[in-house]
């Protein structure tokens, strides 16, 4: 009963958030004379897009590290799989020769966008429908490929514990990165070069016949996909599977004694987490408008791990908040530290390219050392708390 | 034939350089059960310090100074970033190590401006020598000899001295040795000092052979050295050295394969494949003691 009561208000809250994102994105076109922050080119939207993508990956990592207690460092590898799957499957056939020019064209002349295009047509509304369906299918497949790979490497890797698991998953991510850079696989992966030309976030903007943008959806799309995925993860965490994950985290031996299949649940958590990391990788490819193995280094995994730690290991809302703060600080608010500044005629020392990241990593160290619970610890923000109290009272009366 | 000799020679030398880093990992892991992710970056910082010091000081002065400063850095990292977390869960310490690694890399980017830096030529090490018909640098010959000498000295230190005995005791049983009156913190500091000193020496040998240092150039040798430590059996010094030599030789062989096969991208991947195989089939490594808490 309680679940049902909370379901619709939550849904309404999410819908409101998404509508707000659409409004924010389009307000500069409707109301002239707004500050530059609201222009489509402002860092605000870069931050929102990147943070939406990263928060999905951070939550997926938290599912594994925070809720199941499996310390995996393979996130960048699964993102790489997702990014490449998405990119390879959505580059339109017409573009393939140009993208793969070093290898004389792609090995398979196939693209989901074209496939749906044959059904719905390639222009106008039909073109839009085929692009949306093609991208959606490719994004889901990106997750499936990453999840399947996780299933395969889960057999050897999930038997390992704590830091051995971490270093083995890190190793797998590095192996994947090498394989995708192999020139012999060039006709599929484009070797060490990037794959370009696939639909990105801005492809989802609705344009008029003359090419002018009628409705911007480029920030809405990552928010929408991330929100759907995070809701799915939260539902999973609150299910009996989620409780099994938490019991494994708290005490493996006790969990096994209670009849929880350790290996089955660990594999499940690993596969699901990797599925969403794969989806996150596809979104990341859309965000940067290219897919290149070089980007998915272990540093990327560390970055996401640090986000999870800042937000609080074991808190979904913490991870989301931390991602937005982290991305906003690194891409926008701390930018001023990177450029030389003068206070009158006095040049403020130390400010120069790279200083931002030094300050930033010192702050991270302070959090790791002195506030090891992060922003949220393992609590969650309850949007419905004011209403929740009322509910509790009612329940109390009925007893 | 000459080609084979030159590949083997450089393999042995790379292996020796990995060995010097791997000892730092294996000692720390033996005592703290911590993968010190920052160790590879300490190695990179040692390389950068070599560049900056050699620019202002004569080489005979700057090289010992590099080692001293690296030791100080390793000591400081342990005191600031790991010691406060002694009672925290193991994963927190590892996260802290990752944070330190991130900090060192970003600081290096800031200081160097992100540009690759060229290591100074050290007159003696960079000179060439003729071995069995192949031209090679002196550093290639000296590295394995120096490594073996240092390992010998280190094993003497661990087996014959009081500090060494304390180190062995702590790695056997942390809590009991504490009860026996061993000053845990100073033992851990000594461990970090030894590891950092070896990383400093390793950086001099390693970067003499390589054209440039970037802020990321510590990460990969660091991870490889850790794999070497696991391969040889974590906690075992001879194991780490042998593991490092095997990985170094295998890596140069892969890099030296005909370029038409185009497999040189796998020289890093091979190391990790080796790691996963050893973890699955023989988790205690080649020379490690059978322990049950790893798997």
Of B88, B106, B230, the CB nearest to A372: B88
φ, ψ of residue B180 in degrees (nearest 5):
-80, 5
B133 burial level (CB within 10 Å; 0-12, 13-18, 19+):
exposed
> How close does chain A come to B283, measured CA to CA in Å?
9
What confidence category does residue A388 fall into, taking pLDDT thresholds of 50, 70 and 90? very low
What confidence category does residue B1 fall into, taking pLDDT thresholds of 50, 70 and 90? confident
Q: Do A306 and B293 touch (CB under 8 A)?
A: no
Q: Give the length of chain B.
A: 295
CA-nearest residue of chain A to B263? A182
Q: Do A175 and B269 touch (CB under 8 A)?
A: yes
Q: Rounded to the nearest 5 degrees, what angle is found at the Cα of A83, between the Cα atoms of A267 and A297? A: 80
> How close does chain A come to B263, measured CA to CA in Å?
7
Q: Are strands A213-215 and B117-118 parallel, antiparallel or unpaired?
A: unpaired
Q: Do B103 and A172 touch (CB under 8 A)?
A: no
Q: Do B110 and A369 touch (CB under 8 A)?
A: no
State the DSSP H helix or E strand holding residue B2, giving kind and residue range, or none if neither.
helix B2-32
Q: Do B269 and A174 touch (CB under 8 A)?
A: yes
What confidence category does residue A4 fall into, taking pLDDT thresholds of 50, 70 and 90? low
Q: Rounded to the nearest 5 degrees, what angle is found at the Cα of A173, between the Cα atoms of A169 and A177? A: 165
Q: In angstroms, rounded to a whole number, what is the distance separating the alpha carbons of residues A202 and B183?
A: 61
Of B106, B266, B280, the CB nearest to A358: B106
**C-alpha B294, offset from chain centre:** 22
User: Where do the H-state alpha helices sit in chain A?
Assistant: 2-30, 43-62, 75-90, 93-99, 112-120, 124-157, 162-180, 186-189, 220-238, 240-250, 252-257, 262-288, 298-311, 316-328, 355-370, 385-398
φ, ψ of residue B289 in degrees (nearest 5):
-80, 140
Q: Do B279 and A164 touch (CB under 8 A)?
A: yes
Task: Give the residue-averaged pLDDT of A41-50.
Answer: 88
Q: Are strands A206-207 and B134-137 parallel, antiparallel or unpaired?
A: unpaired
Q: In angstroms, rounded to a whole number, what is the distance separating the alpha carbons of residues A194 and A214?
A: 31
pLDDT at B121 over 70: yes
> How close does chain A come to B99, measured CA to CA in Å?
6
pLDDT at B289: 66
Contact residues, chain B, for A352 at CB < 8 Å: 110, 113
State ipTM: 0.86
Q: Do B84 and A369 touch (CB under 8 A)?
A: yes
Q: Are strands B128-131 and B212-213 parallel, antiparallel or unpaired?
A: unpaired
DSSP assignment of A303-319:
HHHHHHHHH-TT-HHHH
Contact residues, chain B, for A302 at CB < 8 Å: 98, 101-102
Q: In angstroms, rounded to a whole number, what is the distance separating the alpha carbons of residues B136 and B141?
A: 8
> How close does chain A come to B177, measured CA to CA in Å?
24
The residue extents of the domains of chain B are 14-224
* Partners of A195 in beta bridges: A291
Task: Give the residue-averaged pLDDT of B214-218.
Answer: 88
Q: In angstroms, rounded to a whole number, what is the distance separating the alpha carbons of residues B39 and B20?
A: 11
> How close does chain A come to B276, measured CA to CA in Å?
6
- What is the per-residue pLDDT across A117-126, written as a single tens digit (0 to 9) for each? 888 777 777 7
Per mean pLDDT, which of A4-13, A259-268, B286-295 is the most reliable? Answer: A259-268
Q: Which residue has the higher pLDDT, A293 or B290?
A: A293
Q: Which tokens hold the place of A107?
A: 């090995």
pLDDT at B2 over 80: no
pLDDT at A30: 77
- What is the per-residue pLDDT across A244-272, written as a single tens digit (0 to 9) for each? 999 999 988 999 998 898 999 999 999 99
Q: In angstroms, rounded to a whole number, what is the distance separating the alpha carbons of residues A267 and B179?
A: 41
Q: In angstroms, rounded to a whole number, what is the distance separating the alpha carbons of residues B131 and B30?
A: 38
Q: Which tokens hold the place of A192?
A: 């060490």
Strands (E), B67-214: 117-118, 128-131, 134-137, 212-213
CA-nearest residue of chain A to B102? A361
Q: In angstroms, rounded to a whole number, what is the distance separating the alpha carbons of residues B108 and B114?
A: 8
Contact residues, chain A, for B265 at CB < 8 Å: 178, 181-183, 192
Of A172, A182, A369, the CB nearest to B96: A369
Selected for mutation to probe chain B from A69, A361, A362, A378 (highest B CB count within 10 Å) is: A361
The reply to whether B255 touches chain A by the CB within 8 Å rule is no
pLDDT at A242: 93
Contact residues, chain B, for A190 at CB < 8 Å: none
Residue A60: HSE in the Cβ half-sphere, 13 Å Cα cutoff: 33
Q: Do A178 and B35 touch (CB under 8 A)?
A: no
Asked if residue B201 lies in contact with residue B125, where contact means CB atoms within 8 angstroms, the answer is no
Angle formed by the axes of helices A220-238 and A240-250, nearest 10°: 70
Selected for mutation to probe chain B from A66, A163, A262 (highest B CB count within 10 Å) is: A163
Asked if residue B178 lies in contact with residue B14, where contact means CB atoms within 8 angstroms, the answer is no
- What is the per-residue pLDDT across A270-322, written as a single tens digit (0 to 9) for each? 999 999 999 999 999 999 999 998 899 888 999 999 999 999 888 999 999 99
Looking at chain A, the whole-number percentage of residues with pLDDT higher than 70 is 94
> How close does chain A come to B225, measured CA to CA in Å?
12
The reply to whether B171 touches chain A by the CB within 8 Å rule is no
Asked if residue B263 lies in contact with residue B257, where contact means CB atoms within 8 angstroms, the answer is yes
pLDDT at A214: 79
Q: What's the mean pLDDT when you consider all of chain B? A: 87
Q: Which tokens hold the place of B263?
A: 């497999």
CA-nearest residue of chain A to B94? A163
pLDDT at A279: 96
Q: At a CB cut-off of 8 Å and minimum separation 6, what does A169 contact?
A: A72, A73, A74, A77, A153, A157
In whole angstroms, how large is the CA radius of gyration of chain B? 19
- Using DSSP, state whether A291 is helix, strand or coil: strand
B253 burial level (CB within 10 Å; 0-12, 13-18, 19+):
middle
DSSP conformational letter for B78: I
- Longest Cα–Cα distance in chain A: 74
Selected for mutation to probe chain A from B35, B82, B219, B279 (highest A CB count within 10 Å) is: B279
Q: Are strands B128-131 and B117-118 parallel, antiparallel or unpaired?
A: unpaired
Contact residues, chain B, for A298 at CB < 8 Å: 219, 223
Asked if residue A271 lies in contact with residue A154, where contact means CB atoms within 8 angstroms, the answer is yes
Q: How many CB atoms lie within 10 A of CB A366?
A: 11
Place of tokens 């977390």: B85
Asked if residue A310 lies in contact with residue A377, where contact means CB atoms within 8 angstroms, the answer is no
Q: Whole-model pTM?
A: 0.89
Q: In angstroms, rounded to a whole number, what is the distance separating the alpha carbons of residues B129 and B137?
A: 6
Of A71, A168, A360, the CB nearest to B275: A168
Contact residues, chain B, for A71 at CB < 8 Å: 91, 94
Q: Do B262 and A183 touch (CB under 8 A)?
A: yes
Asked if residue A199 lies in contact with residue A113, where contact means CB atoms within 8 angstroms, the answer is yes
Of A156, A161, A354, the CB nearest to B294: A161
> How close does chain A come to B122, measured CA to CA in Å?
30
3-state helix, strand and coil shares in percent for chain B, rounded to the nearest 5: 75, 5, 20
Asked if residue B81 lies in contact with residue B97, where contact means CB atoms within 8 angstroms, the answer is yes
Per mean pLDDT, which of A137-146, A203-212, B284-293 is the most reliable? Answer: A137-146
The reply to whether B185 touches chain A by the CB within 8 Å rule is no
pLDDT at B295: 36
> How close does chain B come to A364, measured CA to CA in Å?
7
Q: Do B98 and A166 touch (CB under 8 A)?
A: no
What confidence category does residue B147 fall into, taking pLDDT thresholds of 50, 70 and 90? very high
Q: In angstroms, rounded to a whole number, what is the distance separating the alpha carbons of residues B71 and B43?
A: 11
Per mean pLDDT, which of A56-60, A91-95, A161-165, B269-273 is the most reliable? Answer: A56-60
Intra-chain end-to-end CA distance of chain A, in Å: 14
CA-nearest residue of chain A to B261? A184
φ, ψ of residue B129 in degrees (nearest 5):
-140, 155
Chain A contacts in chain B segment 25-54 (CB below 8 A): 33-35
> How close does chain A come to B138, measured CA to CA in Å?
32
Contact residues, chain B, for A362 at CB < 8 Å: 103
What confidence category does residue A332 fall into, taking pLDDT thresholds of 50, 70 and 90? confident
Q: Do B294 and A164 touch (CB under 8 A)?
A: yes
């Amino acid at each position: 009963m309680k679940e049902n009561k909370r379901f619709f208000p939550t849904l309404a809250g999410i819908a409101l958030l998404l509508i707000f994102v659409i409004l924010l994105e389009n307000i500069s076109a409707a109301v002239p004379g707004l500050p530059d922050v609201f222009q489509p080119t402002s860092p605000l939207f870069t931050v929102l897009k990147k943070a939406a993508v990263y928060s999905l990956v951070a939550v997926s990592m938290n599912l594994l590290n925070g809720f199941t207690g499996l310390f995996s460092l393979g996130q960048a590898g699964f993102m790489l799989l997702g990014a490449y799957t998405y990119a390879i499957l959505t580059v339109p056939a017409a573009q393939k020769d140009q993208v793969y020019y070093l290898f004389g064209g792609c090995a398979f002349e196939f693209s989901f966008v074209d496939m749906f295009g044959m059904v719905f047509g390639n222009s106008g509304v039909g073109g839009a429908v085929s692009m949306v369906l093609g991208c959606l299918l490719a994004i889901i497949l990106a997750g499936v490929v990453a999840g399947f790979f996780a299933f395969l490497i889960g057999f050897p890797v999930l038997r390992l514990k704590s830091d051995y698991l971490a270093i083995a998953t890190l190793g797998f991510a590095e192996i994947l990165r090498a394989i995708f850079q192999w020139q012999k696989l060039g006709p599929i992966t484009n070797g060490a070069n990037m794959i370009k030309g696939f639909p990105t976030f801005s492809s989802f903007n609705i344009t008029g016949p003359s090419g002018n943008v009628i409705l911007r959806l480029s920030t809405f799309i990552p928010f929408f996909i991330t929100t759907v995925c995070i809701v799915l993860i939260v539902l999973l965490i609150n299910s009996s599977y989620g409780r099994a994950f938490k019991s494994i985290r708290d005490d493996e031996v006790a969990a096994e004694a209670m009849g929880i299949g350790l290996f089955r649940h660990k594999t499940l958590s690993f596969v699901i987490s990797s599925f969403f990391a794969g989806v996150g990788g596809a979104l990341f490819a859309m965000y940067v408008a290219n897919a290149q193995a070089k980007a998915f280094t272990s540093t990327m995994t560390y970055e996401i791990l640090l986000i999870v730690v800042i937000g609080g290991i074991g808190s979904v809302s913490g991870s989301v908040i931390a991602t937005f703060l982290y991305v906003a600080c690194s891409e926008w608010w701390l930018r001023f530290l990177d450029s030389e500044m003068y206070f009158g005629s006095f040049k403020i020392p130390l400010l120069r390219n790279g200083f931002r990241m030094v300050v930033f990593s010192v702050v991270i160290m302070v959090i790791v050392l002195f506030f090891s619970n992060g922003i949220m610890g393992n609590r969650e923000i309850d949007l419905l708390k004011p209403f929740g109290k009322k509910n509790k009272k009612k329940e109390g009366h009925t007893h | 034939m000459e080609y084979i000799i030159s590949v083997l020679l450089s393999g042995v030398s790379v292996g020796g350089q990995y060995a010097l880093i791997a000892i730092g990992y294996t000692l720390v892991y033996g005592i703290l059960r911590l993968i010190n992710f920052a160790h590879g970056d300490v190695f990179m910082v040692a390389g950068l310090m070599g560049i900056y010091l050699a620019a202002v000081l004569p080489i005979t002065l700057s090289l010992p100074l590099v080692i001293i400063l690296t030791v100080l850095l390793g000591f400081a990292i342990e005191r600031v970033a790991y010691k406060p977390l002694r009672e925290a869960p193991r994963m927190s310490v590892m996260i802290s190590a990752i944070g330190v690694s991130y900090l060192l890399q970003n600081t290096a980017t800031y200081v160097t401006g992100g540009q690759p830096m060229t290591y100074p030529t050290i007159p003696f090490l960079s000179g060439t020598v003729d071995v069995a018909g192949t031209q090679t640098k002196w550093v290639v010959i000296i590295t394995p000899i120096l490594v073996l000498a240092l390992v010998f000295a280190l094993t003497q230190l661990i087996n014959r001295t009081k500090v060494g005995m304390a180190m062995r005791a702590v790695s056997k049983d942390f809590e009991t040795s504490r009860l026996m009156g061993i000053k845990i913190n100073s033992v851990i500091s000594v461990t970090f000092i030894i590891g950092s000193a070896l990383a400093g020496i390793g950086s001099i040998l390693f970067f003499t052979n390589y054209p440039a240092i970037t802020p990321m150039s510590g990460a990969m040798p660091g991870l490889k050295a850790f794999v070497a430590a696991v391969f040889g059996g974590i906690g075992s010094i001879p194991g780490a050295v042998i593991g490092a030599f095997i990985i170094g030789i295998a890596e140069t062989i892969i890099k030296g394969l005909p370029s038409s096969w185009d497999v040189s991208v796998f020289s890093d991947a091979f190391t990790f494949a080796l790691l996963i195989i050893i973890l699955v089939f023989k988790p205690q490594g080649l020379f490690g003691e059978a322990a049950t808490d790893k798997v």
